[in-house]
Amino acid sequence: MVPVSDGMMGVMAHHEPLTAAILDGELSFTLPDGTKKLCVVSRGMLDISQNDARILCDSALAPDEVDDALEKQAQTDALIAEQEKEGLRDYRRTQLAFAHAVNTLKNRNKNIKD
């Protein structure tokens, strides 16, 4: 099972050729000997052709490879970065509003003088 934009997609033997975008999530698969595997994947691509499936993504970790402390720190860092981004976005909006107000007043004063 592969996480894609429409939900989870199953792929069986002799699947028709397909390329799909993978989303962050859990990917599960079964090895030829019947062993089931689970891993956590980041965004990437899935390519199915000639009865073969290939996954290309930034990371794929088995559950026992996940470092909880590292992932929690990454989550905190991402939230801080998002807040700073919002701060910058608000700053830019304020700059644009100020420039608009100055421009409007400048042009209004021009029309009054004419």
Q: Is residue 55's pLDDT more than 70?
A: yes
Report, as an integer, the average pLDDT of 41-52. 90
pLDDT tens, residue by residue, 10-28: 988 888 999 999 988 889 9
Q: Name the token pair of 75.
A: 């989550």
Structural domain spans, the chain: 2-64, 67-113
Q: Which CATH class name applies to 2-64?
A: mainly beta
**Does residue 33 or residue 77 have the better pLDDT?**
33
Q: How far apart are CA 70 and CA 88, in angstroms?
A: 27
* Average model confidence (pLDDT) across the chain: 81
Terminal-residue alpha carbon distance, the chain:
71
pLDDT of the residue at 96 = 77
The predicted pLDDT at position 109 comes to 54
Here the tokens at position 59 are 């990371």
- Return the pLDDT at 69: 81
